[in-house]
């Protein structure tokens, strides 16, 4: 089998509800993963796009998070209503959904304004 064109990892990590960083499982991570899988199949991309659940991607404040390779595009605050747009725009047409894309200042850095108990207000203005 040829390699996939894209590989999608959706965080489904589970933590205690009281954890200060939160977790993607409590924000519907598993349902979002299932919705991405179904939308990929419906779009006819099953042989070219692989969708996997992931343990912690260390972006808990941005949950539900997902990352698409080989581009290395990180998405945050993904909801079920975003799935169709991600599949159509990014996975099918190759254009990342900028409004959901995590800025470099938020991925794997302590400079992220969402870390350290900051109020999660979304990505507007970052």
In this prediction, residue 57 carries a pLDDT of: 78
pLDDT interval class at 13 (50, 70, 90): confident
**pTM value?**
0.82
pLDDT in tens, 71-82: 999 999 999 999
* CATH code where residue 78 lies: 3.40.30.10
In a domain, 28, yes or no: yes
Backbone CA torsion sign across 61, 66, 69, 74: negative
CA dist 64 and 57 (Å) reads 10
In a domain, 123, yes or no: no
In this prediction, residue 125 carries a pLDDT of: 38
Q: Is 41 helix (H, G, I), strand (E, B) or coil?
A: helix
| Count of structural domains, the chain | 1
pLDDT in tens, 30-80: 999 999 999 999 999 999 999 999 887 777 777 788 999 999 999 999 999
Domain that holds residue 15: 6-106
Chain position carrying tokens 């998070």: 65
Q: Judge whether 64 and 10 are in contact, CB under 8 Å.
A: yes
pLDDT in tens, 79-102: 999 999 999 999 999 999 999 999
Q: Judge whether 82 and 34 are in contact, CB under 8 Å.
A: no
In a domain, 119, yes or no: no
| First-to-final CA distance of the chain | 40
């Amino acid at each position: 089998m040829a390699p996939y064109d894209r590989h999608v990892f959706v965080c489904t990590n589970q933590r205690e509800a009281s954890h200060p960083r939160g977790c993607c499982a409590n924000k519907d991570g598993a349902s979002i993963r299932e919705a991405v899988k179904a939308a990929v199949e419906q779009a006819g991309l099953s042989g070219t796009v692989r969708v996997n659940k992931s343990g912690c991607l260390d972006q808990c404040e941005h949950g539900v998070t997902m990352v698409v390779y080989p581009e290395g595009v990180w998405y945050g605050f993904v909801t079920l209503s975003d799935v169709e747009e991600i599949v159509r725009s990014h996975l099918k047409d190759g254009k990342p959904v900028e409004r959901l894309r995590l800025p470099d200042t938020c991925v794997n850095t302590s400079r992220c304004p969402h870390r350290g108990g900051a109020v999660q207000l979304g990505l507007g203005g970052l």
